[in-house]
Amino acid sequence: MADTLATLARTRERFRAFADGEIVPHAEEFDREQRIPSELIKRLAAEGYLGAILPAEAGGPGMDRVTFGALHEEVGRACSSVRSLLTVHSMVAFAVHRWGTAEQKAARLPGLASGDRLGAFCLTEPEAGSDAGRIATTAARTDDGFLINGTKKWITCGQIADVYLVFAKAPTGMSAFLVDRATPGLCVRPLTDIMGTRGSMLAELEFRDCEVGPDALLGPEGMGLSLVGTGALDIGRYSVASGCVGILQACVDACADYTARRVAGAVPLREHQLIRRMLSDMVTNLEAGRLLCQRAGTLKDEASPKTVMATWMAKYFASTAAMSAASDAVQIHGASGCGGGAAVGRYYRDAKIMEIIEGSSQIQQLTIAEEAFQQAAARATPSLSGSEDR
Ligand SMILES: Cc1cc2nc3c(=O)[nH]c(=O)nc-3n(C[C@H](O)[C@H](O)[C@H](O)COP(=O)(O)OP(=O)(O)OC[C@H]3O[C@@H](n4cnc5c(N)ncnc54)[C@H](O)[C@@H]3O)c2cc1C
d(CA 202, ligand 1 centre) in Å: 14
Angle at the Cα of 117 (from 65 to 122), degrees rounded to 5?
Answer: 75
Query: What is the 366 CA–ligand 1 centroid distance (Å)?
Result: 14
**Closest ligand 1 atom to Cα of 361:** 47
Q: What is the CA(227)–ligand 1 centre distance, in A?
A: 20
- Alpha-carbon distance of 33 to 92, in angstroms, equals 26
Residues β-bridged to residue 204: 189
Assign domain 120-222 one CATH number from 2.40.110.10, 3.40.47.10, 3.10.580.10, 3.50.30.60: 2.40.110.10
Question: Which residues are the active-site residues?
Answer: 358
- Single-letter amino acid code for the residue at 220: P
Ligand 1 atom, smallest distance to 124 CA: 11
Domain with CATH 1.20.140.10 in the chain: 225-385
- Residue 360 alpha carbon to ligand 1 centre in Å: 6
CA trace torsion 299, 305, 307, 311 (10° rounding): 170
* Atom 43 in ligand 1: residue holding the nearest Cα: 362
Gap from CA of 14 to ligand 1 centroid (Å): 34
d(C-alpha 225, C-alpha 211), whole Å: 21
Task: Give the fold, CATH level 3, of 225-385.
Answer: Butyryl-CoA Dehydrogenase, subunit A; domain 3 (1.20.140)
| Cα of 130 vs its chain's centroid, Å | 16
Domain 2-117 CATH (choose: 3.40.1360.10, 1.10.340.70, 3.30.420.40, 1.10.540.10): 1.10.540.10
Which residue, by CA, sits nearest to atom 26 of ligand 1? 129
How far is it, in rounded angstroms, from Cα 235 to Cα 307? 10
Q: Whose CA is nearest to atom 38 of ligand 1?
A: 130
Where in the chain is CATH 1.10.540.10?
2-117
Residues of the chain with pLDDT under 70: 1-2, 383-390
Nearest CA to ligand 1 atom 50: 154
**Is 37 in a helix, a strand, or coil?**
coil
Residues of CATH 2.40.110.10 domain(s) within the chain?
A: 120-222
Q: Which residues line ligand 1 (CB under 6 A)?
A: 88, 121-124, 129-131, 154-156, 194, 197, 202, 353, 356-357, 360, 362-363, 366
Whether the Cβ atoms of residue 72 and residue 78 lie closer than 8 Å to each other: no
Q: Between vectors from CA 100 to CA 95 and to CA 104, what angle results, nearest 5°? A: 120
pLDDT of residue 2: 62
pLDDT of residue 390: 45
Position 1 scores a pLDDT of 64
